[in-house]
A and B are shown apart, each in its own frame.
Chain A
């Protein structure tokens, strides 16, 4: 039991973080739950007010709105800036594994496909998400509406989880099936432009996975469990002593899976 907890400590913390954040939004909307007279988190992942005063906003959504040619209040820009700086410090794609509710869907899909040993039916390049990111901005400018926000399955899922469910689960189900029968890590690792967006500030992240080359036996366990295995190029991370790619989601799977304990969370070290 203790060893199970230890081996799954990051998974458990991530689920607590993901569900906890949604829950804070949920109790604000449905029960007006307040601490010291203020609601802790009001709104949803697109934009919110933290502790009744601090604005937070999805920087990618704000960027799309700016591309439609509309201006935004300083408050929203400030909120987007706060989020951007936060993720630049803790790792851009920490959003993906610690906050995004779609992560729970895709992780379960991955678990099931590994168990059933389903082979990938299609091959989409990991670069496609960056094309989709660029396309989202271009289409926002051309059509005058925030292009990805209009169709984002992530927004639909989190919005309906917080404000009440109707057919938002269909978006999640589609992603689940796509990841299950289409391609391993198909949505998060290949298509999602939000993840692609967060990978950009993630490049300068302070919190990084540190890699100790010496005990490594090159068994490949980390590679097999990593949702973005291309970031674990053993030669490159050996030279840099850390996982430097912006696409590392700081999920901590490699830390717990490695039999030689080569990986650990640490702050970026100067090399």
Chain B
């Protein structure tokens, strides 16, 4: 009798523990999955793709410690975003692109790529997000973001356009190039407006993507391989000769058929 009762107790115990684990685990898991992510958070140079970065960052703050400009900080409880991981706010203190990248070099876990060359880093992308506010688009001369850009004339260039209102001036419009811009944020920090017109956004928010079905003819160096004899180096004469040959061949084959004129 005692034996059945202890077996019964055992199963009840198992039931209680597993129920508690499942309920607790579900709640805890919910917190982990739904934890308020900050889609606008900018990570230190060399950060892995966001999901891998969040998984491997051990939140030790050695990158924060290593940064000589106090750019980085660990997200505190009550701030926006995942608690404890490093981020920076470009408008306050941008990344000054140290050549030796001390923050990434100090990362113990590999959440930041230690081998990163600073110009290859992609912390985000500068986007001229408000043309209506940018004074360059009003026809006033500014260029401050352009002058501040550490990769001037590569990441940020000026597009000159005639200014019709006066008829003798030009617009000096800043243009960002995504293949070079590291997202350091110096342009955003230095923008003379009360609220910056140029801002660093994570690539996911800033960039579109062309479908892979598109072929931009003027960029395609090689033609579609189904076409026969399509090497583009052929001169006009060669092509003419080719088509003559084809024509002769066709006439020959017609003549060979013989029965046609009988």
Contact = CB atoms under 8 A, between A and B. Distances in A.
Query: Which bucket holds chain B's interface residue count?
Result: 35 or more
A166 interface: yes
A116 B242 CA distance: 104
Contacts of B33: 143
Given A135-B21, A139-B29, A146 B77 contact: no
Interface string B88-125: 00000000000000000010111000000000000000
Interface string B14-40: 000100110011001101110100000
Contacts of A132: 24
A49 B62 contact: yes
Contact of A135 (B28, B62, B76): B28
B60 A145 contact: no
Contact of B77 (A61, A62, A79, A160): A160
Nearest to B30: A143
A131 B55 contact: no
Given A55-B108, A70-B52, A145-B54, A166 B35 contact: no
B60 A46 contact: yes
Contacts of A70: 52, 55-56
Given A42-B65, A72-B109, A168 B32 contact: no
Contact of A48 (B31, B60, B110): B60
Contacts, number: 130
A149 interface: yes
A139 B28 contact: yes
A46 B59 contact: yes
Contacts of A143: 29, 32-33
Interface stretch (B1-9, B78-86, B190-198, B230-238): B78-86
Contact of A75 (B28, B35, B59, B108): B108
A167 interface: yes
Contacts of A62: 58
B25 A163 contact: no
B51 interface: yes
Interface string A27-70: 01100000000010011101111000001011001100100111
Contacts of B52: 70
A159 B84 contact: yes
Nearest to A61: B58
A168 B76 contact: yes
Interface of A: 28-29, 39, 42-44, 46-49, 55, 57-58, 61-62, 65, 68-73, 75-76, 79, 131-132, 135, 138-139, 142-147, 149-151, 155-156, 159-160, 162-168, 170-171
Interface of B: 17, 20-21, 24-25, 28-29, 31-33, 35, 51-52, 54-56, 58-62, 64-65, 73-74, 76-79, 82-84, 106, 108-110
